[in-house]
Amino acid sequence: MKVCKFGGSSLANADQIKKVKRIIESDERRKVIVPSAPGKRFDGDIKITDLLYSFQDAVRNNGDHEGIFEQIAGRYIEIRDELGLKTEIEKYLEKIKKDVYSGACEDYTVSRGEYLNGLLIAEYLGYEFIDAADVVFFDAAGAYEPDKTRIIMRERLKTAERAVIPGFYGSKPDGTIKTFSRGGSDISGAIAARAARAEVYENWTDVPGFLMADPKIVKNPKIIKKITYKELRELSYMGANVMHEDAIFPVFQAKIPINIRNTNDPESPGTMIVPHFGDDDGDGTITGIAGKKGFIVIAIEKSNMNAELGFGRRVMSALEKNNIRFEHMPSGIDTLGVVLSNVEIEGKQSQLIDDIYAFCQPDSLEIFTGLALIATVGRGMRKRIGVAAKLFGALAESGVNIRMIDQGSSEMNIITGVDEKDFETAIRAVYNAFCGGENAK
């Protein structure tokens, strides 16, 4: 069986929900459905979840809460009526309003977007509605409880032939509602796939799949047909995203593939995220390119550094003392560079420098700002000769100076550091070198 999560834009209005029903009915294995709240219907529209945050805020701060609530109610009533459903959504809306007025917590309020949508979609599909509060659990401190959730959700799903479980929330031991972070319905879907031991977790959204490069930089980048969890992690970390990062973990553990699909183009196979390499290892191609601006390098020099026991540890102690995570640490014989993100070092730079001087006594220390990192990722480049040559050749030909190189020991990712001003040129050059040349913007 399949667990299918549908994102907000796939459920933004009655027409979208009709498409979703056709998709679900076209494959009888689509037995567990995890919906988001209705999203944007057009550019400039407001997602229900955002309206619910505003509603909560307006109630607490004497804003126009009535007006906002009308908008929320209007959306659900319209969906219900256009789909010809019987659910007494007004009754549920009244209860929510009363609860919020009498002090319900923010997580409760914002989770109602998924809850109400789940009720309507369950009726429309003829599926059983399972409240996520009864099957997704957090502890009293608000930490997600995977084991309890898996066991209880699994048992509950055994009693339902076909079910709708709203995304984004669960409950704490005292029964109060707790949500995941924004975009968390992806996590709910992954959890349900794991509990149900699904053959695949389908994540239906409004993009054609995971793209090989950022479409804002490369024109019409190709869709990645197949990617491993590890590659996905490397690309997501560097800024390429279609799914909540934490959604990978539950299905990764259970080795369930994720299929990213487009609700507006259901015939397209989308992107398959798979646990293992398979036999396409080492064909010299890359899977994708992603990158981020906003890094600095601290370049440390000390004669005989190479022979000094514990030098690296002392540098790391300085970082740890200042609560700073590093990105990379490329080294030479008597030099060591520490690559850090601007966000990580903000407000801490001078203390860190003082500490590196105190702990390591370097001969010199220089700081270079304005670095962008580019990850060229691909299981297909493992153990292949010439991949790096192609990559660096492409950068050289487009006049990009490489300021740092780091190849992870998995041989699955080559990270290059370039000047921020060269970032877009570099991404296009790498894409064209590996994916055929017509697509530079």
Interface residues with ligand ASP (CB under 6 A) are 8, 36-37, 47, 49, 113, 167-168, 182-186
Nearer to ligand ASP, 114 or 234 (CB): 114
Q: Which residues pair with 376 in a beta bridge?
A: 289, 414
Nearer to ligand ASP, 186 or 424 (CB): 186
20 torsion bin: left (phi>0), alpha (psi -120 to 50), beta (else): alpha
Paired sense of beta strands 413-419 and 402-407, if any = antiparallel
Q: How far is the CB of 183 from ligand ASP (least distance, A)?
A: 4
Give the residue from 149, 286, 158, 289 showing the smallest Cα distance to 214: 289
Nearer to ligand ASP, 106 or 281 (CB): 106
Q: How far is the CB of 247 from ligand ASP (least distance, A)?
A: 9
- Which residue's CB atom is positioned nearest to ligand ASP? 185
Q: How far is the CB of 184 from ligand ASP (least distance, A)?
A: 5
Nearer to ligand ASP, 180 or 434 (CB): 180
Helix, strand, coil percent values for the chain (each to nearest 5): 45, 20, 35
Q: Are 9 and 185 in contact (CB under 8 A)?
A: no
CA distance 64 to 55: 8
Q: To 5 degrees, how large is the angle CA 34–CA 40–CA 44?
A: 160
Nearer to ligand ASP, 49 or 228 (CB): 49
Nearer to ligand ASP, 170 or 288 (CB): 170
Q: How far is the CB of 93 from ligand ASP (least distance, A)?
A: 17
Q: Which residues pair with 202 in a beta bridge?
A: 4, 259
Q: How far is the CB of 180 from ligand ASP (least distance, A)?
A: 7
Q: How far is the CB of 169 from ligand ASP (least distance, A)?
A: 9
Q: How far is the CB of 9 from ligand ASP (least distance, A)?
A: 10
Q: How far is the CB of 1 from ligand ASP (least distance, A)?
A: 22
Question: For 107-225, where are the E strands, in sequence order?
Answer: 128-129, 163-164, 169-171, 177-179, 200-205
Nearer to ligand ASP, 184 or 250 (CB): 184
Q: Residue 66 corresponds to which tokens in the numbers above?
A: 């009535």
Q: Are 261 and 270 in contact (CB under 8 A)?
A: yes
Handedness of CA 135, 140, 146, 147 (dihedral sign): negative
Nearer to ligand ASP, 167 or 380 (CB): 167
Give the residue from 378, 307, 292 showing the smallest Cα distance to 340: 292
